[in-house]
Amino acid sequence: MMKKFYLSSVLAVALTPFAAQANSVDLTVTGTVVPTSCIPAFAGGNNVDLGRILSGNLSPSAQNNLPPRDITLKIACDAPAAVEIAVTDNRGATKVPGLTFNGRTNDDLYYGLGSTQGVGIGGFGLLVGQPLTDGVSQTFLVRSPANPVWRVPVSGLISNAPISYSWGPSAAIGPAAARLHTFPMKVAASIRPTADLPPTTDEFKLDGSVTFDVFYL
């Protein structure tokens, strides 16, 4: 009897963990982190038509400034985001050196306007307007790879990349996050003195092109 009791006790102890364990079920937690998406577009389209310009009205000896055209870059985001822009000249080889825009003569501050018979026609600058984020006025900001700290620019013009720009309450605070960024500008185009252009009786077309790159911050 003692032996039988001993074996029964051992079996009971050995079976206890198995009897206490319940069935199991797995919980799988899934989801997708979707990055904020921002879509840039120019209000009214991305083509600026300077119209037909009579060569007889152009100066042969001075820079010929054309009436500026208003443009507005709008960046719509599906969630509040801060952005940064940089502008690349697609016609840089045609830029006429030494032109003046907004009182400043600096080749990095304007862009090429195409060429005729291999000779650059002129250039155009992008004059800065008042940036807005969700309708709130912001301070225009600039930085560069050599000086990555945000600061307030003084030229009033958009320079060529790698210089980049944004907007926010102040340089110390930095860029502001928003769903809608609105950045008005003016396209100020100029044709070089006509005496510096090849003589021709044919029409020639102004052909400026820049790319605005938008980066998330």
* Mean pLDDT value across residues 194-212: 87
Q: What is the pLDDT of residues 58-97, one digit of tens each?
A: 999 999 999 999 999 999 999 999 999 999 999 999 999 9
Distance from first CA to last CA of the chain, Å, rounded? 82
Q: What single-letter DSSP state applies at residue 47?
A: -
In DSSP notation, 108-132 reads GGSEE--EETTEE-EEEEEEE---E
pLDDT at 6 exceeding the cut of 70? no
- Integer angstrom CA distances of residue 147 from 95, 132, 142: 26, 24, 9
pLDDT band at residue 202, thresholds of 50, 70 and 90?
Answer: confident
Q: Return d(Cα 106, Cα 188) in angstroms, integer.
A: 15
In DSSP notation, 63-110 reads -EEPPPEEEEEEEEEEEEE-EEEEEEETTGGGPPTT--BTTB--GGGS
pLDDT band at residue 11, thresholds of 50, 70 and 90?
Answer: very low
Res 26: pLDDT: 82
* Mean pLDDT value across residues 37-54: 90
Q: Residue 120: which of 192, 64, 71, 51 has the closest Cα? A: 192
Sorted by where each starts, the structural domains of the chain and their CATH numbers stand as 64-196+210-217 (2.60.40)
Average pLDDT score, the chain: 88
Q: Return d(Cα 149, Cα 166) in angstroms, integer.
A: 12
- Integer angstrom CA distances of residue 168 from 3, 31, 136, 184: 87, 33, 10, 15
pTM of the model: 0.83
- Integer angstrom CA distances of residue 81 from 37, 104, 157: 9, 33, 24
